[in-house]
Amino acid sequence: MKKIGDLYLIPNLLGESAVNDVLPLRVREVVLLCNHFIVENPKNARRFIKVIAPEKSQESLELFPLNKHTAQADKETYLSHCLEGHPMGIISDAGCPAIADPGSEIVRMAHQHEIRVIPLVGPSSILLSLMASGMNGQSFAFNGYLPIDKDQRKASLKRLEKRAKEERQSQLFIETPYRNEALLQEMLQVLSPHTSLCVATNVTLPEEAIHTHTIGEWKYRFKELHLEKQPTIFILL
């Protein structure tokens, strides 16, 4: 029976941080092992590989782009090297592959082909923010992006607040960075002053800031935050 190659889920940095501060040595070892990678953005992936394993030949790399424009027919072929016995890696643009990331579809295909999937340890802004928030880490939900429509977004915020209170479940969500300030102001207007809100910005980076206060307290402290165009996780409880 022909040997099948493993599929490694390779975590990326969350920004301009020191590799040794965030990623274990095993990640570098796997990058050196693989020549075939499924990536969100080939240019970003090459830059990451050059940082973590500068001695690896860029000419040896074969990169398969995976994003919202990737045709389904192309995705179906991406695991061919694994099926031929070669190891492959999935690299996200930031953080852990397949978590709020298109890599999850490829992972599902790998299981269908009985390819061994090996997740590597690395930074997840979702989990790190929750860890530092002081909120419920036993029961939590990541809700991705809220609706763009103002009325729908307001309804989503109220729905998440209700779920957080009734189920004592931490509710995590994100926004496009340039809309962070507007979302915060909307939360200050819509949510109960007794609801807790954690704002976690630039997680793992030198300018990291993670703070938890009630909505009532944030109304007097929001000017301390610098959210404009900064990657941010919001958590309600």
Question: pLDDT (tens digit, 9 = 90+) per residue, 193-220?
Answer: 999 999 999 999 999 999 999 999 999 9
Q: In terms of domains, do 205 and 226 share one?
A: yes
- Is 80 exceeded by the pLDDT of residue 38? yes
3-state secondary structure of 4: coil
pLDDT, residue 68, reads: 86
CATH of the domain at 15: 3.40.1010.10
Would 1 be classed as within a structural domain? no
The arithmetic mean of pLDDT across residues 72-98, rounded, is 94
Which stretches of the chain are assigned E, i.e. beta strand?
A: 7-10, 36-39, 62-65, 88-91, 117-119, 140-145, 170-174, 196-201, 209-214, 232-236
Local confidence band at 101 (pLDDT 50, 70, 90 cut-offs): confident
Tell me: the pLDDT tens digits for 107-133? 999 999 999 999 999 999 999 999 999
Would 68 be classed as within a structural domain? yes
Would 75 be classed as within a structural domain? yes
Would 60 be classed as within a structural domain? yes
User: How far is 134 from 137, CA to CA, in rounded Å?
Assistant: 8
Tokens of 2: 């022909």
pLDDT, residue 222, reads: 87
Would you put residue 155 in left (φ > 0), alpha (ψ -120 to 50) or beta?
A: alpha
Which domain does 83 fall in, by range? 7-119
Would 2 be classed as within a structural domain? no
Q: In terms of domains, do 77 and 29 share one?
A: yes
- 8 A C-beta contact, residue 89 and residue 31: yes
User: How far is 134 from 71, CA to CA, in rounded Å?
Assistant: 42
The angle subtended at Cα 165 by Cα 146 and Cα 184, nearest 5°, is 40
pTM above 0.75, yes or no: yes
- Is 80 exceeded by the pLDDT of residue 183? yes
Amino acid identity at 222: F
Q: In terms of domains, do 105 and 136 share one?
A: no
Q: In terms of domains, do 18 and 112 share one?
A: yes
Q: In terms of domains, do 158 and 107 share one?
A: no
- 8 A C-beta contact, residue 206 and residue 159: no
* Residue with tokens 């029961």, as numbered in its chain: 139
Q: For 146-183, give the DSSP string.
A: PPSSHHHHHHHHHHHHHHHHHH--EEEEE--GGGHHHH
